[in-house]
Amino acid sequence: MVMMQRWKGRVALVTGASVGIGAAVARALVQHGMKVVGCARNVDKIEKLAAECQSAGYSGTLIPYKCDLCNEEEILSMFSAIKTLHQGVDVCINNAGLAHNEPLLSGRTEGWRNMIDVNILALAICTREAYQSMKERHVDDGHIININSMGGHRMVPSADEHFYCATKYAVTAMTEGLRQELREARTHIRATSISPGIVETEFAFRHHNSDPERAAAVYESMKCLKAEDIASAVTYVLSAPAHVQIGDVQMRSVEQVS
């Protein structure tokens, strides 16, 4: 993509970069010449991906960073390290997210709190810190992309998903609120929400960790989206002309019912 040329050599942060969508996005951005800081609680897979990108001769670089997004101090330390080593963040991809089987009528508070910590608070903290990084360096063309979910636009008729959907509705609201605040601040920094339907990753197996057959059945029921499809959506959004604000991308398999 010609318009991705302007991001060559710029710095992107991708949260939850060890597997699935995050790994696919990190790979795509490195392929387009970006310096990508990929963070996760376990960086073994990111280190392997970084080596693969280097072997493939991609023009960018992938820098693994160990960070627990449930811990604000670790997030702030990560942004401090990025500032020291790479000046700051130009693109922030808030990809990390999780779901637990915790219905509204019987769920454990611990599971609810974990979803809030990762899906909402970590996203908000990374967004704030990314914006401050851009502002202090007078970067006026940055981009903050939230990997949302179709569950952030309609409630899935399954009790196991209801609290998760609530956190994703929050992401939808926060992305629009962010767009408004960026406009009020008279910046040209852009904000985008990308909402996939069912994507064939490790997500369902983690969500239904006590029932792997149920997880497999989710992916076998239709031709699902692939992580690379979402990575393509990210590069499409980043490639838009600087005056174009793509606020919301909703995408699902043509075979997905809702």
Q: Is residue 257 part of a domain?
A: no
Q: Is residue 3 part of a domain?
A: no
| Per-residue pLDDT in tens (0 to 9) along the chain, 258 residues | 668 999 999 999 999 999 999 999 999 999 999 999 999 999 999 999 999 999 999 999 999 999 999 999 999 999 999 999 999 999 999 999 999 999 999 999 999 999 999 999 999 999 999 999 999 999 999 999 999 999 999 998 999 999 999 999 999 999 999 999 999 999 999 999 999 999 987 776 666 666 677 767 777 878 889 999 999 999 999 999 989 999 999 999 888 876
Q: Is residue 225 part of a domain?
A: yes
Q: Output the pLDDT for position 257.
A: 73
Q: Output the pLDDT for position 204.
A: 64
Q: Output the pLDDT for position 226.
A: 95
Q: Is residue 2 part of a domain?
A: no
- Among the options 58, 65, 164, 169, which is catalytic? 164
* Active site annotation includes 164: yes
Q: Output the pLDDT for position 206.
A: 67
Cα separation, 62 vs 14, in Å, equals 10
Note the pTM of the prediction, 2 decimals: 0.94
Residues ≥6 apart with Cβ < 8 Å to 161 = 99, 151, 155
Q: Which of 253, 163, 246, 232 is nearest to 25 (CA)?
A: 232
Q: Is residue 224 part of a domain?
A: yes
Q: Is residue 183 part of a domain?
A: yes
Q: Which of 112, 115, 121, 120 is nearest to 98 (CA)?
A: 115
Q: Output the pLDDT for position 221.
A: 77
Could you give the C-alpha distances from 24 to 16, 38, 140, 172, in angstroms and in order?
A: 11, 11, 26, 22
> CATH no. for residue 144?
3.40.50.720
Q: Output the pLDDT for position 37.
A: 98
Q: Is residue 64 part of a domain?
A: yes
CB of 35 closer than 8 Å to CB of 61 = yes
CB of 140 closer than 8 Å to CB of 187 = yes
Cα separation, 59 vs 57, in Å, equals 6
Question: What is the residue range of 123's domain?
Answer: 8-251
Q: Output the pLDDT for position 213.
A: 77
Number of domains in the chain: 1
Q: Is residue 258 part of a domain?
A: no
